[in-house]
Each structure stands twice: as C-alpha cells, then as structure tokens.
Amino acid sequence: MKKHVVIYGLNVGGMKAAINLGMGGYEVLMLNRGNYIAHNPTQLLSYGPTNITNGYLMKGVQMVPTVDIWHGVDIEEIKPSENGVRIKVKRIPPDVEPSRCVECGLCVKKGMKYTPRPIGGIYEFPPDMSEDKKKEIQSVCPFGAINVKKEPEVTEVDADVFIIASEFSFDKGKLAEFGVGKIKNVWPVTKVHRLFFNVGEHKQFLKDGDGNDIRRLALVNIDALNGGTYFNYISMLSLIRFALTAKNVAPDVEIDIYYNLPNFYAKSLLKHIKEAKEKGINFIKYNEGELTISDGPSVMGKEYHLVGVSYPEVAPNANKYIADKLGLKLENGYIKTQPGTLETDIKRVFVTAEAHESKSNSDAIRDGDVVALEAFAYLSEKPKLPPMPDLPNYDEAEPVYGALLCKCALNYQLDKDNETVEEFAKRIFDHVETSDFLCMDIQKKAKALLERGVNRLSIGACTMSLRGGYLMQMVQASGLDASYVDLVQLKEWGKSEEVQKSMLKRSKAALSHRKKSQIPVDAQVEKKAFIIGDSIASLTAALSIARAGLPVTIFLKNSLSPVLPEQSLLANKLKDMENVKILENGRITKIDGYGGHYTVTIELSNEEVVEEKAGVILFGPANYALPDSDSVKTFKHVGIILVDLDKDTSSVRYSQDIALRFVKELAGQGKSVTVGAQITAFRGRKIEEWLSLINEKKIDIVFAPDPLEKDSTDYLENELKQRGAEVVLNISMDLKNDYDDVSSMLELRQNDDGTIYYIEDPYDDGNIKMVSGPMLTKGIFVTGPFRKPMSPDEEMLDGQSEAMKMLAVIAQPAIMAPGMRMISYTNYRKCAGCALCVEACHYGARYIDPEDNVAKVREVLCEGCAACVSACPSGAAEVKMLEAKQMLQSISTLLSH
Amino acid sequence: MSDFEPKIVGFFCNWCTSSAADLAGTSRLQYPANVRPIRVPCSGTVDPVYLLRALREGADGVMVGGCHPGDCHYITGNLKARRRVKIVKTILESLRLPADRVLLAWISGSEGAKFQRVVTEFTNKLKEMGPSDLSKKWK
C-alpha cells in the first residue's frame, strides 16, 4: 500500500500535521495503538479546553477525506531508506470501525455496549456475548461497520515520510508511590478539584468520600522529571488555580501547597503565587526524598482531611517503543532531533510534540505546522486536482426532472416511514429514488436515474454545508454536470412536512432555468508576504515562503546587520533568492487595507516612497545583543547572572543559549567563569552541554535561592562577588520595541515587558485555528522574540510555523473582507458569572474563568450565533460585528481595487 | 462594453447566503469574481446608508443576500431587509437613478447553485447596463 505520510500516534501535533498535509491533497495514514480515539487530555491534565482542543482537531482530521486512521495497530517493522519508509503494520480490527460508524445507535438497541466520551463514544461488544448474537448485531448495521471476526491483518505500507506523534503520558506507578489509591483520602489532584465547583452562583463545596467536612487540604506537586519540564510548570500553575478556586468557594478551608523544584521562571506563575499568598494559602518547600505521605492522611507529619497529588509527567513509552525499532537516540526518554528542525537523525523521520519534548498545547500544535512544512521536501508527487470532466450540455434539451431523497433526512425515526413527502416528490418529479442512507450509495442511485434520462436533479438530504460538496462531486462523477443539480437541505430547516414539500417544489422550479456554467474563477488574494524585522524567526519564515515560490518583501528600519550567526546564514541565503526583496533604512508611513489586501507605504532614507502590496503581514523584529567580550578583557574572573527574575522572567531560554556561547568563549580564553542562575534556567536540550562544562571544571555554578524566600538577583550578585568575580554581567533579552510605531499601526497591543499581547488565556491561543475553508483572518502574524523570548532553535521552528499559516492564507483563492467573522464577547462590568451563556452555547465557546468569575469566549470556537446574547439576563453577552464606521470604511477599501 | 467588469458589493447573511457562497465554492460551481462579499450577521443589519455609500464609492451594483421569508435566524431580519431595500429603490427611483443596480435575493444555505445563478445573472445584467455614473453624479 502506498501512502504519502504515515503518522504514528495521535498527539495534537500529529493531528495538526495530518490536517495540513491532508488538506494539501496528500494521502495520510494515522496509526493508533489504542482501539478507539482517546479524547483524554494528551497535553494537560488540568481543566481547561484541552478536551475541546483535541476533539476539535480530531473533528478536523475526520473531515479531511485524505486522512485515514487505523486503530488497534502494532508496528512489526520499520525500514527507512533513501526513497521512503516501509512500515509493516499488524492490525486487529476493532469491534466497530470508527471511520464507518455514524453513531445511528441501531446496534445499541440490540445490545451493543456504548460508553460515552466527551466527543463521540466507544461501541464494543459486551465481554460475554455469544458469536450468534454478535452476528445478529452485525446484520443490523447499515454501514457494515461492525467486525465479528478478529484476526490480525498484516499490511506493508510504503510512505515518503514517517512522523512520530507519541501521546502525553504520566506515571501511574509514581502516583501509587505517594499513596494514591492506597491511603484513604489521598487523591489525584483532578479528583480533588471536582469537589469545588465555581460556576456562577452554583458554588458548592462537597464533602469527602465519607461525607465529612474538609477543613484542611494539602496539594502536593511531585516532580517526576528533574530539570523542569513544561508540565511541571503547568501542574504547579493548576495546583495554585485549584487552591484559589477552593478558597473562593470555601474561604475557611486551610490549604497548603507542597513543592520541590517548580519552574519559577514564568511570569504568570509568579502572579498567581502572589495572589495565593494574599489569600492565605501556604507554600511549603520539601527537599528531595523528604516528602512522605502517610495514613491519616498526613504530609510530612502534618495531618489533613484530604491530600491531592499532582500528576507526574513522564516521557511517553511509545518513544522508546518506536526509537528501538528505528535505532534512534533518546535523551531523557525524548527522541533527539537535528538542531532547529524536527527531523531526527534518520532522514524522512520526524517527531512532534511529546515525541520531541515536554510541550504546551500551542507549542505542540505549532509542531504540526512545522513538520508539514519540513515534510514537503520529501513528498514525491505533488497533488493534482482532478481534471474537470467534459460532461454533456443539457441547456437546450427538454428537462427531465429527477429527485434523490434520503430517508435518514426525511425522518429521524428510521422505523417510521415517511410516505407523504416521498409520494409528493413522486407526483412532481419525473423520476424519484430514495435511499435509507443516501451518502452511502449516492453514485449508484444517481446512475440509476441518469439511465432513465434525467437531466435535472434535486438532492434532498441533511446538512448540506458538510455533505453538499461530496454529494455534488459524486453526481458529477456519475455523468451529470453540477450546474444541473440542486441541493435541498431537508433535515434542519425543513422541520414540518409542508416545508419539506415546498422546498422540493422550489428546487424543481429553480432547476427549470439552469444553464451550464463556463465562467472562470478569479483569485482575489494578493499572493505576496510582507515581513517586518530581522529576527531569526522572521528570516526563517521569509525563506520558507520564498521557497514555496511566492514573493516576499522584508522591511528593516536600519540596515541588515546580523548579530547572531544564524541570522547571517539566513540573510545570505535570502540575498541570493530572486523573489525576495529587502527594503532597508526606511520608515513605514501607512498600512492600508485588510486581510488579503494590504498596501504598505514606505519612505526610504533617500526620500523615495515605495508602495508594497501584500496579502499577509508578519511582525517579527528583534534586537539581539551579544555580551561584549571586549568589556571583560582586563578581568580574569567573570561572573554571569543568567536570568534576572525580578526584571524579566520569560527570556530564560534565550539567555541560556546566548550565555552558553559566551561562557564557552570565555572559558576558551582561559578565564575563570562563575555562573549564577535559577536551577530551572537549565532546562531542555542544552542541559547536557552545561553539565559537561561543569564536570570538566571549566565553569563554577551558583544556584539562586527559592524566589519565594529571597530576592534572587541581589543574592546572586553578592554570592558571585564573594567567590572572586571581578565583574558581574547580567544576560537577559532587551525587549525594547524599536518598531512600536508599526505595531500600533497593525493594532497589536503591547504587554508591560514589551512583548506583543497575543495570548488571552494560557491554555488557548490563536494557534488552533484550522487551515481550512475560507479563513476569516486579519492576515497579521507575530513571530520572534516579541511573541515570546525564545532560543534561536525555537525561533526557527516558530518562524516556520508562522510561514505555514501565512501560506495557508495567501495560497487561497478568495478571502472574505476583514472583521466579518462575528464573535461574541462579554461586557465584564455587567457579567454576573451566572453561566447561563455557557449552557446556551452549542459550540463550547463560552466558559467561566475561575480566576475572575466572569464568562469568557474561546474565539476560535465561537460561531457568532448570538445564542448567548439571548440567554444572558444581565445584557453582558454581546456579539461583535462591524460598527457603521468600520463598515463604511470596508466598503471603500473593497471598491478601491 | 465587452471588457467592462462591474464591481458588485454583496452583503451576505451569515446563516444562508454566505454558506451558499461557500457551498458554491466547495462544489466547484463557477461564478464571476465581480462580487466583493461582506458577511453580515443578518440581512436585517444592512443599513440603507451602506447600499447608497457603496454606489457612491463606485460600485456598479449592490446585492443583499438573505434567508427565505420565514427562515430568518433572528425571526424577522430578512423582512426588515426587504423593507429597507424597497426604501433604497424608492429613493433612487425618485431621483431618476437606476434602481436596478440594487438587488435583493433570498438564497438559503443549501442553494449554492442558486447563488451562482443569481450572481451570474446580476453580473450579466450590469454588463449590459454599462458602468455606473452614479458616483460622478453624486460628487
């Protein structure tokens, strides 16, 4: 079997990659070791829209016809070679094939076991069912989705690219070590959280398993992977959030949080800690090996009514499983890649998310974009759209009307037949065919009608916005031009039979004057990208877009003068490319237009005025500054502070990387170096290089104290000087935005520390927008250090993922005018936190933020239906649309080209 | 006037005509690219001023697409649109300006083909009428 891409595992990065590649027309096969789609959180185990993120992506995967998913799969053998990857797959068919099942529920009536999941559910035979009974159930399914015989099949799949997408896992054994499941009232922390509800006025505080009140509560953060993973930070954050919610619901509960080595570098965490301390929550630090949880329950000798233990993240088992088969190297259980890419040491083999590192949801989704872009280089055949068939012209022919009706749409109740609408259709149309499930045999039924001479066809079925395209394509494949086909949505709007009848009648009338269409479609989007700034990320994005064959303009306020070696490498490559234009030493005076059609006016230093058109704009400036080695020339002992927690807390990855280069340089000159840092500053991949420097006694290291106890910067400075450092340098990123006039023109908001305000909720950022359909976007993207300070390697990945999103916009034929996407929002002054809107929302877009107890909106999911507006009793929920002024402005811009 | 490509501003209801436009796209029905679409929550939100402004700014035609009467997501929005478009037409007629340049169409979400037909017909009609001189007269 030949597939373009095989993805092993179902993590969110893999799913995003599958959507990207599948939408591009490549054949994708996803392999899942489990027997159903796990909608369990794969990234975060706390509350938050994790389930929705996964479910949303999963829905996307299922909607792309070129993506296949196999469940219950075992990989027997993988052989990578120069020309592709050959995978031997052993597959035990599941009881119900999820790709065929439409969840009609007929089998459940006969005794199939159904377990509901957050999205969709699992259908399986009850364990002790007889073979005969199984066969009986099998015959009920109209889609042939039920398998009775379960013999493993072995298939050989040839792929161009293999992507490893192992799912998040946590260490259950470690939880048991701390008494979960053994000691009474020691629970996993998510279970503790369920005791406290804070949805509007329905605050409730439940009792423990025996019905006793809880007065003293301990929350314990256990550290499974030393060195700090992303998850450790999240689990600390969620512990504090749990504690705050609990305090909010029951203020007199005494709460202690135990921690060992949390990542204290993140700003949001410090904010939460401060708030928690104000509310009277205690933080107790324990050292390695000190933590004991015993009967009572008690933690380190102190008695509580209830103890919650956080989940310890571990590297997924699947990483080892797959790395052994391929002979890949593991680091801390994660698969090693080449720097700056997600490609492993073996060509054509890639990793995403948890296969690579412990990552946040948005980073994992970003990986999906990056992998897709990197995989393009290896994909052998470029996808082709099928040629338009030459179909007969019936414009002059005598119309013969036909109708295809789906009984499933005519009536929800399958066992009750709906004669009247069918009879009506038979009376007004010349030929009528009905089917229980039209989607399943549309082609056969359409052919049957065409043989009888039908040249005008009405199709009556359910949700046309989802199926219409498919049904029409199928009819076209049977030999009738789509111009002569009319779709009638019977199910949703045609509730009463009378309405259904009148819709069919109208459809026939509409068909009577159809003509075959021959007008070509014009592309409307400006197929150009405009990039501001010279960060590594924006140069990488420019290169990716230029390689895709689209023109790119890079604008710089000053002249291009690379500071980091990565920058100059990229700049040299870009200078050689024909479709890249670099505008230096200028000033942007005006940015006009909207998503898909921007005009940027630039005044260059020689007073020349240039107008650049672009479909998308990327904002990615940076001001890198390397520590000056000349300034420390005269000193023999140099002290370096790696991160200044009080001033800037988030640039740790950047400073770690830059400091490493600098320290190596100094050590090479024979100077003594002492480094002072937070212990968690050494995280991620570079830790090995640091360790080797320390072990070879080239540098000395001082760790900062717990920031909850002491001010770390002053402490480190004193400590370094005491150890003999003659000069102390502080390495952190300068976040002064030289381009703030441009960012305000683009309506980008700035945070206090200079980064661009871009993420509203730490769990949920713009990244989960899908690359499909008419993307209603402003077409403005942010990358580089001003999105969030990151190391050069991370910047390259970030630039690539932004490029992917930009390409998705400019490679599109048509785009709607800006701001047309309507999104609901909350007037926080009016919101009472009653959560009625949460109930009213069909799309899961509204939620109550436990922090400030008001309703918030996940903009990605919002459809702007205004159900929340009618549900809100206090008038706080509103739907944003264009105001009159904006509307008039967009009319002028629409007409100006 | 065979080279003349009219500019049409379309105000399309989010619930029906916009979906129809999408459907026409996904089913690969070809329609002229003269329409510059604006998605509105409901055809009832289209102010007469928007239509007049579009004509004044140089549009050769304006089009409002709403749900069939009785199907409105907000119950009576499309009926309001009908009244408003009538007002605009009356104004134009009383000023002896061509009211044909304003079009109101009921296109449900499933009628991708109808969308294609309406847009094609309207474009052809405007091609016959020639460029609008309304913007010049106005100034």
Mapped to the 3 state alphabet, what secondary structure does A466-518 carry?
HHHHHHHHHHHHHCCCHHHEEEEECCCCCCCHHHHHHHHHHHHHHHHCCCCCC
Q: Kindly give the pairing relationship between strand A586-594 and strand A431-435.
A: unpaired
Q: How confident is the model at residue A395 (pLDDT cuts 50, 70, 90)?
A: confident
Give the Cα separation of A643 and A654 in Å (integer): 10
Place of tokens 């052919």: A447
Contact yes or no for A231/A261 (Cβ under 8 A): no
Residue A891: list chain B partners with CB under 8 A. 9, 38, 50, 53-54, 57, 59
Instruction: Respond yes or no on whether the N-terminal peptide bond of residue A399 is cis (omega within 30° of 0).
Output: no
> Is residue A231 over pLDDT 70?
no
Instruction: Report CB contact under 8 Å: A489, B33.
Output: no
- Ordered by where they begin, the domains of chain B are 8-133 (3.40.50)
Q: Which CATH class is domain A630-730?
A: alpha beta
| DSSP-H helix ranges across A669-749 | 687-695, 712-722, 740-745
* Nearest residue to B105 (alpha-carbon basis) of B97, B95, B116: B116
Give the nearest chain A residue to B58 (CA atoms): A895
Other CB atoms within 10 Å distance of the CB of residue A518: 9
Instruction: Report CB contact under 8 Å: B40, A881.
Output: yes
Instruction: Report CB contact under 8 Å: B23, A469.
Output: yes
Instruction: Report CB contact under 8 Å: B19, A465.
Output: yes
Closest in A472, A520, A817 to B37, CB measured = A817
C-alpha angle A856-A858-A859 in degrees, rounded to nearest 5: 115
Q: CB burial class (10 A; 0-12, 13-18, 19+) of residue A715? A: middle
Q: What is the pLDDT of residue A182?
A: 82
Q: How confident is the model at residue A415 (pLDDT cuts 50, 70, 90)?
A: very low
State pLDDT tens for residues A115-159. 765 445 677 888 888 888 888 888 888 777 788 877 788 889 999
Chosen for mutation from A517, A775, A776, A879 (greatest number of chain B CBs closer than 10 Å) is A517
State pLDDT tens for residues A858-877. 765 676 677 788 888 888 88
Instruction: Report CB contact under 8 Å: A521, B33.
Output: yes
Chosen for mutation from A887, A892, A893 (greatest number of chain B CBs closer than 10 Å) is A887
> Is residue A61 over pLDDT 80?
no
Separation in Å, CA A75 to CA A2, A89, A524:
16, 5, 46
Sheet holding A609-614, edge to edge: A586-594, A597-604, A609-614
Give the Cα separation of A346 and A765 in Å (integer): 32
Q: Does domain A529-624+737-810 have CATH number 3.40.640.10?
A: no
The architecture that CATH gives domain A401-512 is 3-Layer(aba) Sandwich (3.40)
Query: How near does any CA of chain B get to the CA of A488, in Å?
Result: 6
Separation in Å, CA B112 to CA A237, A525, B18, B25, B116:
49, 22, 9, 8, 6
ipTM for the complex shown: 0.84
Instruction: Report CB contact under 8 Å: B54, A821.
Output: no
Instruction: Report CB contact under 8 Å: A487, B30.
Output: no
Residue B131: list chain A partners with CB under 8 A. none
Q: What is the pLDDT of residue A197?
A: 54
| Position with higher pLDDT, A231 vs A262 | A231
Give the Cα separation of A25 and B22 in Å (integer): 19
The one-character DSSP state at A536 is: H
Which of A191-195, A298-302, A407-411 ranks highest by mean pLDDT? A298-302
Query: How near does any CA of chain B get to the CA of A485, in Å?
Result: 8
Domains A529-624+737-810 and A630-730 share a fold: no
Q: What is the pLDDT of residue A581?
A: 92
Chosen for mutation from B22, B39, B47, B117 (greatest number of chain A CBs closer than 10 Å) is B39
> Is residue A377 over pLDDT 60?
yes
* Nearest residue to A39 (alpha-carbon basis) of A23, A25, A26, A55: A55
Instruction: Report CB contact under 8 Å: B113, A487.
Output: yes
Two tokens at B83?
A: 């009244």
> Is residue A36 over pLDDT 60?
no
| Position with higher pLDDT, A55 vs A751 | A751
> Is residue A305 over pLDDT 50?
yes
> Is residue A762 over pLDDT 60?
no
Residue B19: list chain A partners with CB under 8 A. 465
Out of A277-291, A611-625, B110-124, pick the least confident: A277-291
Q: What is the pLDDT of residue A275?
A: 80
Partners of A169 in the beta sheet? A314
Q: What is the pLDDT of residue A790?
A: 76
Q: What is the pLDDT of residue A440?
A: 67
Contacts of A806 (CB under 8 A, 6+ apart): A529, A541, A545, A616, A618, A779, A781
Q: How confident is the model at residue A508 (pLDDT cuts 50, 70, 90)?
A: confident
Query: How near does any CA of chain A get to the CA of B86, in Å?
Result: 20
Residue A888: list chain B partners with CB under 8 A. 49-50, 53
Query: How near does any CA of chain B get to the CA of A523, in Å?
Result: 8
Q: What is the pLDDT of residue A552?
A: 94
Separation in Å, CA A850 to CA A190, A280, A766, A883:
15, 18, 21, 31
| Position with higher pLDDT, A541 vs A211 | A541
Residue B39: list chain A partners with CB under 8 A. 776, 816-817, 820-822
| Position with higher pLDDT, A114 vs A29 | A29
* Nearest residue to A399 (alpha-carbon basis) of A484, A472, A481: A484
The CATH number of domain A823-881, selected from 3.20.20.80, 3.40.720.10, 3.30.70.20, 3.90.1150.10: 3.30.70.20
Place of tokens 């600390």: A236
Contacts of A33 (CB under 8 A, 6+ apart): A9, A72, A73, A74, A318
Separation in Å, CA B3 to CA A699, B54, B127:
76, 22, 9
Cα dihedral A424, A427, A429, A432 sign = positive
Instruction: Report CB contact under 8 Å: B53, A465.
Output: no
| Position with higher pLDDT, A489 vs A598 | A598
Instruction: Report CB contact under 8 Å: B40, A820.
Output: yes
Query: How near does any CA of chain A get to the CA of B98, in Å?
Result: 19
> Is residue A332 over pLDDT 80?
no
> Is residue A812 over pLDDT 50?
no
Q: How confident is the model at residue B119 (pLDDT cuts 50, 70, 90)?
A: very high
Looking at chain B, the whole-number percentage of residues with pLDDT higher than 90 is 34
Helix (H, G, I), strand (E, B) or coil at A597: strand
The CATH number of domain A171-313, selected from 2.60.120, 3.20.20, 1.10.357, 3.50.50: 3.50.50
Instruction: Report CB contact under 8 Å: B49, A888.
Output: yes
Give the Cα separation of A349 and A14 in Å (integer): 13
Instruction: Report CB contact under 8 Å: A524, B59.
Output: no
Helix (H, G, I), strand (E, B) or coil at A318: helix
Q: What is the pLDDT of residue A684?
A: 55
| Position with higher pLDDT, A372 vs B53 | B53
- Domain boundaries defined on chain A: 2-92+152-168+316-378, 171-313, 401-512, 529-624+737-810, 630-730, 823-881
Closest in B30, B53, B116 to A520, CB measured = B30
Q: How confident is the model at residue A52 (pLDDT cuts 50, 70, 90)?
A: very low
Which of A94-103, A293-302, A809-818 ranks highest by mean pLDDT? A293-302
State pLDDT tens for residues A604-616. 888 889 999 888 8
State pLDDT tens for residues A545-574. 888 778 999 999 888 888 888 889 899 999
Instruction: Report CB contact under 8 Å: A489, B109.
Output: yes
Contact yes or no for A179/A293 (Cβ under 8 A): yes
Contacts of B75 (CB under 8 A, 6+ apart): none
Q: Which CATH class is domain A2-92+152-168+316-378?
A: alpha beta
For chain B, what is the mean pLDDT? 87
> Is residue B128 over pLDDT 70?
yes
* Nearest residue to A14 (alpha-carbon basis) of A167, A161, A157, A118: A167
For chain A, what is the mean pLDDT? 74
Give the Cα separation of A820 and B2 in Å (integer): 33
Q: What is the pLDDT of residue A690?
A: 76
Out of A62-76, A187-201, A276-290, pick the least confident: A187-201
* Nearest residue to A542 (alpha-carbon basis) of A884, A273, A799, A729: A799
State pLDDT tens for residues A696-740. 877 877 776 665 555 667 777 888 888 888 888 777 666 777 888
Give the nearest chain B residue to A773 (CA atoms): B22
Q: What is the pLDDT of residue B71?
A: 82
Q: How confident is the model at residue A816 (pLDDT cuts 50, 70, 90)?
A: very low
Q: What is the pLDDT of residue A530?
A: 93
State pLDDT tens for residues A644-703. 444 444 456 677 777 888 888 888 888 888 887 765 555 555 666 777 777 787 787 777
Contacts of A412 (CB under 8 A, 6+ apart): A491
Closest in B29, B59, B73 to A482, CB measured = B29
State pLDDT tens for residues B79-100. 999 999 999 999 888 888 888 9
> Is residue A813 over pLDDT 80?
no
